A and B are shown apart, each in its own frame.
Chain A
Amino acid sequence: MKNNAMRWAILLLMVQWVQAQEYFPKNDGVLVKKDLYQVFTEATVHQNSVDLLENATIVVKDGQIVSVGKNIVYPKNSVITSLRGMHVYPAFIDVHSSFGIKKPVGQTRGRSTQYEPSREGFYWNDHIRPEQSGIESFNFDASAAEKLRAAGFGLVNTHLADGLARGTGALIALSDKSSNATRVLSPKSAQYFSLTRSQQTQQSYPSSAMGSMALMRQFFSDAQWYANGGSKTKDRSLEAYNDNSRLPHIFEAGDLDAVVNADQIGDQFGKKMAIVGGHNAYEDIERVKKTGATLIVPVDFPSAYDVSDPLMASFITLSDMKSWNQAPSNLAVLDRAKVPFAITTHGLKNPGDLLKNVRTAIDYGLSETQALAALTTVPAQILGQANKLGQIKPGFYANFTVTNGSIFDEKTTIHELWIMGEPHVVNSKDLVDVRGDYTLEFKSATYKLVFGGSIEKPSIQVTKDSLKLTGKVERDGAWMKLQLHDQDQGGWLRFSGNASLVNDRIALSTDLDNTPIALMRTTPFEEKEKKEKKKEIRAIVPVTYPNVGYGYTQRPTAETVLFKNATVWTSESNGILTETDVLVKNGKILQIGKNIPAQGKVIDATGKHLTAGIIDEHSHIALKSVNEGGQNSTAEVRMSDVVDSKHMGIYRDLAGGVTSAQLLHGSANPIGGQSAIIKMKWGAPAEEMIYSNSPKYIKFALGENVKQSNWDSGGNRFPQSRMGVEQVFVNYFQRAKEYDEIKKAGKPYRYDEEMEVLGEILRGERYISCHSYVQSEINMMMKVAERFGFRVQTFTHILEGYKVADKMAEHGVGGSTFGDWWAYKMEVKDAIPHNAAIMQRAGVTVAINSDDAEMSRRLNQEAAKTVKYGGMSEEEAWKMVTINPAKLLHLDQRVGSIKVGKDADLVLWNAHPLAVYAMAEKTMIEGAIYFDREMDKKLRQQVSDQREMLIQQMLDEKNQGRPTQLKSSIKTEEFHCDTL
């Protein structure tokens, strides 16, 4: 249906264009009608990536292909061009371009944060701009068009690359032969989206990647609601989107994770998205395949890092080095996996690099067939115009490229682009090859000349009586200019002539003399068999899981393992068992006891301690972004959208015996986002790290951070006091309650992700981890919850919990606190390290958490501090990092203790696990060993070997004069609650 509609739209447009000439009044001459055919004969025609015709004829009329084939009879009124020896390809199409549309310049930020939109009558968020029409700010850019044509492009789909919803793009033919009346094939060809904020506004929300994702979901949902007549007011943004909702959707995502994110949004709302990105699809091609999306892949391969200075080299991570090394293999991997993809110039400084990089990709295994499809038929399909664009077939637009050989051969020259039936010369194909050896007689001297170089730019060597002279030759189309420097003849001798060879003779003239002069060719040029310069294909470092330092060549898998003779810390009522065996099978703890018969892999744990994996209730590792501070409530944002499965913090946590963590939103606002609870499955993609059937959590926050005490933000966001914090909660819960009532009553309502999430809290389906410090606010939060009939799940930080521990126990809230932090803010002036012990004794379930990537990897030591401060028993202390956090996360049926039937998330320690000198030897998750100190040694060697290999490759690159970059990526930032 859609395709048909599109075809008609295009055909109508086409008719309009043909008639355009006719219905315009003409005052500068007489109106004539051109009724001629263009015929191209003897060509090698690549109709598309598959169909090849040798010695074929193409007939074109009015910008369209009439017929293609062998033995074609063409009408008499034809202009015939022979393309003998030439190849004809469909012109390339770039579907993700901003050709001719200037990007808006960023606004300077005001002193205070802007929370409200700056527009009226549009969507509530300025970053949603589907009403933008790219064509309205379009100006044909002749010089950019020339560059694109030189790169083989005949068509671009251009758009205003600004905002999350960017509005419609336009399909433009890169013809400079006429006006926009013929160039604009479609003024509304697709709708564009991205996860990047608009430069045209300072509205604060969304300030994070997860905020962008949430806003996008709300927007698509709102569009449906609006279409169903839900809104009482006009919203020109939603209206515009709905009007154009049947256009193809193109989503600029980014790396592999972002591609998956974009695909999820598309799936949720039933929108088929073509996704721009996936330059690192090779890192996990199965994950890409699963999306089923068509990709639009950039080929902006990074240049090598300049590692000539060892100091600077030490700042370049193996991960960055690998990105450089592996990037050229990306398209080949996509090709082999049969993922449909187009190629875009997006990200390239110069479109001329596209063919160069695609050729490189071909060297690394991309098939020429797919390369051509990715530049022609696939983009045509994405635009829903597969029956008009991208092939050389009857009924298609006459958009094709004439070359002198295979377009993917680096020796090939692009000669012409025919766009909408109009010729555009890139490199004239009619140049005569004048190269060869010549003699020139002038004023009784004889010069020997040798022209070499290329046809377009010949070089010259001149001798006179074996004396070398300086010479210059230049071609200007059909003409050539020649200069020789001969002191005996008064200096520079200059000649010019038409560079055509008649009987091995080129006639020249000079202003020095009137007699006819000629260059006589003695030997024609012979392409010297170039020393088969072996193309340098560098060795590609194998992808690891994850594809950074310390990644595994194969993902760890569950094994049958028997730990023999360990001291087993069960974190259960049976306490610490000595000389005990634990059997693990199919990812679960199968048996605990003495003398279990050997099976599977037997690990001698004599003298060692086996515990459940540590669970960090409060962590911000493995996140790409931590705070969405754009509004005072952001319940709609999901940390699961920004899990960074390649973060080194995961491996380091494993090395510290940590197997699970709650990745929390930060504390920039009273109502934060939804947590991602993960297992540290190093090497798995984010979606596999997140607990299946995960309990639902959300971050709330109180105190200095939410009232913005410690940074200057203009002070215009409510709340600025603890008094206000309460009112924020009361208001939002009341609204959620009323929202729920409307829903239950079956009345029409606008789906509001934020209210949905808050409703889950009210119904006890979602739990709050609440960042808290002083007793007043802790007490307040419990009262608010009680008023709305639910219970706060966990107070995190909870540094004055010891002051209200009795109230906490009564409310039934847990406490997840630090071992010994204080003095960093005013609100921790009364924080004491004995906090955990007092709360525990008052009947509160207490966990020790990290909120910090460094502390997370030695939480065993932080737990041990409760022995020192407050005199916890060692067994109780250990529970504070295992079963207690599991309880606080509603995961205690699955993890947190050594009990038959539970997940085999285990740590083998070389010593008493609470001792400062204990080291984790093996860390297992669901029966698979994710960290092993012996394996770690091998991984260190792997890191060092691969770095060395890549440094060698990059030094080769630099020392062969190829471009390099002299910078490292940003040093990974470690997040805390208040990281903005």
Chain B
Amino acid sequence: MKKINQIALIGALTAMSWSLMAQQTPAPKQTEAISIVGGTAHLGNGQVIQQATLVFENGQIIALGGPETPTKGQVISASGKHIYPGFITMGTSLGLIEVDAVKATDDQSDIGDMIPHVRSIIAYDAESKVVESMRPNGVLMSQVSPKGGMISGSSSVVQLDAWNWEDAAVKTDEGIHISWPNPIAQGRWWMGEDPGMKPNKNYPQQVDRLIQFIQEAKAYHQGGSSSRNEPYEALKDLLSGIDVAYVEADSERQIIDAVSKLKSVGIQKIAILGGREAYKVIPMLLENQVSVITQATHQLPFDADADYDMPFKLPKILADSGLVVAMHNMNEANHQNRNLPFYAGQLIGQGMNPEEALRLITQNPAKIMGIDHLYGTLEVGKSATLFISQGDALDMRTNQIEHAFIDGRHISLDTHQTKLYQRYSGKYQQ
């Protein structure tokens, strides 16, 4: 035991020692108006403006139009280049996990079945090297999400250039994450059971327990309780229709049960995380205004007999039907979140219009998380959270970011990685 503790300690110290090598200094507030001219502006809402002029001041877009639009302040030429709203990645462990294999750096889940009071935002490491590595790819905002138990805690939206979590926070505790029970369970082989998949006999009880907990919270909020209950308190905004229930559910049965049961206890905003079989229940999802955050397209098909390109096209199938769709990759290592633009790019290969594909990583996540009044699209009055890319930002060949702005702040695109690149490129040129 002693030895293990020592190893853990050494691991923790090592981890700390390099996360102490500070990341890029957050950019100061915008002091002067900036005009980006001559580029192709992809607004994130399906529209494009060629030869666009985009002007922002004090962190806000104040003008956006064709070449006739007057500029103000510093002018950046984007001729032949592309302007996008900052990409928004959902359901991530960014800032919660630094190194997957090092437990000491993992703060994404806690123990307990019903822990809605657990808040991801306070564990968010704004100085994470993984976080800064998002920015050179155009990923400028993230939903930081807990994972664990049945009700896992609350998620928050952050922007990815900050001194600390408080600065980073764009919207705190905007949703509660729920891991919906699975009606199919794998045999517990370590207990001598067949390791195949079987119906989960406990599924109905597990669902009941979850729903009962929410009903209890409802009763609690009707008043009269003499002692304060933090878990129930944490569900207040969910029950009043302010927060979103992010429900991990993949099979048709899970999705139907999740939506109908949660609606029956008065939960208004529901987003399905995963939704592998969501395409089977589209009318029900539309009717209940449920959005779907599918797994990123870069996945293997779940079952052997599925179309090889099923994960490539699922978001498209759902989006084509009128659902509000975004993507997450919470089952992958979090460094992969920088590939968010390419997950969207994959949809173009499936025949999706590029501007529609773009919405899945800009406007739609903003809508789902309720920050679309400020973020997710390039529109006058909204935050100047955007970037300029030399080419199509959804394609890895041409995703070359030259400038990026968060709330008008001109952020650094350097990272731990780019510094090492420069350092060692230099080594061999000596």
Contact = CB atoms under 8 A, between A and B. Distances in A.
Chain A bound to chain B: yes
Interface string A838-853: 1001100000000001
A425 interface: no
Contact of A858 (B4, B98, B197, B298): B298
A737 B308 CA distance: 48
B194 A854 contact: no
A704 B420 CA distance: 22
Interface in B380-397: 394-397
B349 A826 contact: no
Nearest to A315: B197
Given A319-B304, A826-B99, A915-B395, A311 B252 contact: yes
A940 B307 contact: yes
A967 B197 contact: yes
A825 B105 CA distance: 11
B187 interface: yes
Contacts of A854: 298-300
A806 B346 CA distance: 36
A974 interface: yes
A943 interface: yes
Interface stretch (B230-238, B240-248, B333-341, B367-375): B333-341
Interface in A295-321: 309, 311-312, 314-315, 317-319
Interface centre among B18, B334, B349 (most CB of A within 10 A): B349
Contact of A974 (B300, B334, B395): B300
A817 to B, nearest CB: 14
A715 B3 contact: yes
A309 B252 CA distance: 12
A224 B1 CA distance: 47
A834 B301 CA distance: 30
B346 A838 contact: no
B348 A917 contact: yes
Nearest to A970: B195
A314 B349 CA distance: 27
A841 B305 contact: no
Chain A interface residue count: which class?
A: 35 or more
B46 interface: no
Interface centre among B183, B184, B197 (most CB of A within 10 A): B197
B342 A916 contact: yes
A802 interface: yes
Contact of B98 (A823, A943, A966): A823
Interface centre among B305, B339, B428 (most CB of A within 10 A): B305
Contacts of A916: 342, 345-346, 348-349, 394-397
Contacts of B338: 820
Interface in B129-144: 129-130
A823 B94 CA distance: 11
B93 to A, nearest CB: 11
B426 to A, nearest CB: 10
Contacts of B395: 864, 915-917
A874 B391 CA distance: 15
A917 B199 contact: no
A857 B398 CA distance: 21
A868 B400 CA distance: 6
A747 interface: no
A826 B15 contact: yes
A299 B130 CA distance: 56
Contacts of B298: 854-855, 858
A966 B183 CA distance: 13
Interface stretch (A20-28, A497-505, A647-655, A690-698): A647-655
A830 interface: yes
Contacts of B301: 652
B305 A943 contact: yes
Contact of A826 (B11, B196, B307, B428): B11
Contacts of A230: none
Nearest to A824: B100
B397 A821 contact: no
A515 to B, nearest CB: 62
A821 B15 CA distance: 18
A919 B349 contact: yes
A918 interface: yes
B303 A867 contact: no
B14 interface: yes
B15 A917 contact: no
A317 B101 contact: no
A59 B355 CA distance: 92
B345 A549 contact: no
A972 B304 contact: yes
Interface in B198-249: 198-199
Interface string B168-212: 000000000000000110110000001111110000000000000
Interface string A586-625: 0000000000000000000000000000000000000000
Contact of B99 (A311, A823, A868, A943): A823
A865 B400 CA distance: 11
B95 to A, nearest CB: 12
A314 B303 contact: yes
B284 interface: no
A914 B391 CA distance: 14
Contact of B300 (A317, A834, A853): A853
Interface string A536-551: 0000000000001110
A968 interface: yes
Contacts of B5: none
Interface centre among B187, B253, B425 (most CB of A within 10 A): B425
A484 B187 CA distance: 52
Contact of A968 (B18, B196, B333): B196
Contact of B253 (A311, A824, A829): A311
B31 interface: no
Contacts of B194: 967
Contact of A648 (B183, B184, B304, B394): B304
B417 interface: yes
Contacts of A317: 303-305
Contacts of B335: 820-824
A683 to B, nearest CB: 16
A833 B397 contact: no
Interface string B113-138: 00000000000000001100000000
Interface in B264-307: 298-301, 303-305, 307
B399 A868 contact: yes
Nearest to A872: B397
A415 interface: no
Interface centre among A967, A969, A974 (most CB of B within 10 A): A967
A967 B187 contact: yes
Interface string B404-430: 000000000000111011001101100
B65 to A, nearest CB: 30
Contacts of A655: 308-309
In order of increasing CB-CB distance, the 7 nearest A-B pairs are A917-B349, A916-B345, A967-B196, A834-B421, A917-B348, A823-B335, A832-B417
Interface of B: 3-4, 11, 14-15, 18, 98-102, 129-130, 183-184, 186-187, 194-199, 251-253, 298-301, 303-305, 307-309, 333-335, 338-339, 342, 345-346, 348-349, 394-400, 416-418, 420-421, 424-425, 427-428
10 contacts: A315-B303, A652-B301, A655-B309, A805-B424, A821-B335, A824-B335, A829-B18, A832-B420, A868-B396, A919-B309
